[in-house]
Amino acid sequence: MILTLKITGIPKPKQSARFRIASNSNGAQFIHKYQKKEVVENENNIKLEVLSQLPEGFQPFRSPVKVNKLHYIFPPTKGMRKRDIARIEAHEIVYKSTKPDLTDNLQKGLFDALEGVVFLNDSQICSINNLKKYYGFTPGIILELEEILN
């Protein structure tokens, strides 16, 4: 089965977990691990948008998963050259070569949000093809997943 998803909004990287020293009711201290509110909200928004696009009765993939297409589309920056804006208007690809990192931070947040919804665990992803990060006037993520049946 092939599943194509379009997630609207500016792609956001997942930041590393934060740690703080906390105390329980007995006064014993422990290290508390947490994510910033913005990171959790972003994952929840992705999850809700994906749930609205899934076919009725969809069950999360249980077999290995291949990502056939993963495009991150960012809005043009204020300082972008007019030549690059014209290329975007002509539907040419103008690649984004600045942060966030393509392979680590962007994928982690997206795949964590899809865990339990599209696949059981992001460790099922065994192949990623057609991976791009570029500018466009409609920011978002285009994702095509395929379950590999053994």
The reported pLDDT for the residue numbered 123 is 95
Residue 4 DSSP SS3: strand
75 preceded by a cis bond (ω within 30 of 0): no
Tell me the pLDDT of the chain (150 aa) as tens digits: 899 999 999 999 987 777 888 888 888 888 878 788 898 999 999 999 999 999 999 999 999 999 999 999 999 999 999 999 999 999 999 999 999 988 778 999 999 999 999 999 999 999 999 999 999 999 999 999 999 987
What is the C-alpha to C-alpha distance for residues 93 and 61, in angstroms, rounded to an integer? 32
Domain of 72, in residue numbers: 2-147
User: Which pLDDT score is estimated for 22?
Assistant: 87
Give pTM, 2 decimals: 0.88
For the chain, helix (H) and strand (E) counts, in that order, are 3, 8
Q: Number of folded domains in the chain?
A: 1
Report strand pairing: 65-74 vs 125-128: parallel
Please report the pLDDT score of residue 30 as a whole number.
86
User: DSSP character for 27?
Assistant: S
CB distance 147 to 63 below 8 Å:
yes
The alpha helices in 5-142, defined as continuous H runs, are: 37-53, 82-89, 107-114
CATH number at residue 68: 3.30.1330.70
